[in-house]
Copies of this chain bind each other. A is one copy, B any other.
Amino acid sequence: MDERDWYTELHGGPFGLTIRRDQVLIRERTPYQQLEIFENEALGRVLLLDDAVMLTERDEFIYHEMLVHPGMLAHPDPHQVLVVGGGDGGTLREVVKHQEVEQATLCEIDEAVINLSREFLPFTAAGLDHPKSTIHVGDGLEYIRSHREEFDVVIVDSTDPVGMAEGLFRSPFYRDVKASLKPGGLLVQQAESPFYGFETWPRTFSELASVFRNVHCYGAAIPMYPSGYWTFAFGSDDLTPKSWFDPLRADRLEGLRYYSSELQDAAFQLPRFARLALASEH
């Protein structure tokens, strides 16, 4: 193997994922982070931010479907949806599949992610240009603070809770999200892997539980993320994942490849080690 042509992401120890860079399409320093998009023969386009895999064309459907649909289907009528982060557009693409949606707003801090996704990642960027989508470039923390009782569902599609995104995993932000939600609203957030014992993993859920009455964790098998098992956080004062769940609404969603209504229960059944880590935190 030629070291120069392979990307390697270590997963908290001397092991990890390696992907051959068959063609580098763009590599630039944005005002916020290092961004790279390359092509791999088997995985298609691969987006790196600060040298961590954000998505691959091959498996991004799993992350985006599972970030979006369990929360959207828990809400009886999600008209107004906010996505914090998610500049590649994949989350919007899934949000606007729900016919209840009137407006899906994206608040992404790094305009370069939006622009370069439009150029190089059309399969996710399609969501950015949907008629129901509105794009706002700015800081999600500030954006949330300036909106009150506006959203039915807030979806946090950010990088991990280190550096720039750390504030998105803390209770002050969660209190602001709660205030930005209409009565009966809910929050969903990507919440890392429980497997490698990141100290931040259970903390996210305890911070959420200090703000929202109902906090749930669910998971999905995402090959290109560390450990291959990724979790998501669900928070609401009024709703649970099954409160308003209607499999017929799930059946109307088009082009699903991972989510199905059976997962509205099954994805919330965590491996024992993860459940125990959450229980000891609360």
Contacts and interface: CB of A to CB of B under 8 A. Distances in A.
Contacts of A8: 1, 18
A26 interface: no
Given A271-B258, A272-B260, A273-B258, A13 B40 contact: yes
Interface stretch (A29-37, A166-174, A240-248, A261-269): A261-269
A174 B263 CA distance: 31
A256 B272 contact: yes
Contacts of A195: 59, 221, 223
A15 B18 contact: yes
A22 interface: yes
A220 B227 CA distance: 12
A16 B14 contact: no
A263 B272 CA distance: 9
A229 interface: yes
A165 interface: no
B15 A17 contact: yes
A13 B1 contact: no
Nearest to A195: B223
Interface in A231-282: 256-260, 262-263, 265-267, 269, 271-273, 275
Nearest to A66: B271
A220 to B, nearest CB: 8
Contacts of A228: 221-223, 227-229
Given A1-B3, A223-B227, A223-B229, 5 more contacts: A14-B41, A14-B42, A59-B195, A258-B273, A263-B269
16 contacts: A1-B3, A13-B42, A14-B20, A14-B40, A14-B42, A15-B18, A195-B221, A227-B228, A228-B228, A257-B273, A260-B269, A260-B272, A263-B271, A265-B265, A266-B267, A267-B269
Interchain residue pairs A-B with the least CB separation, the first 3: A228-B228, A13-B42, A266-B269
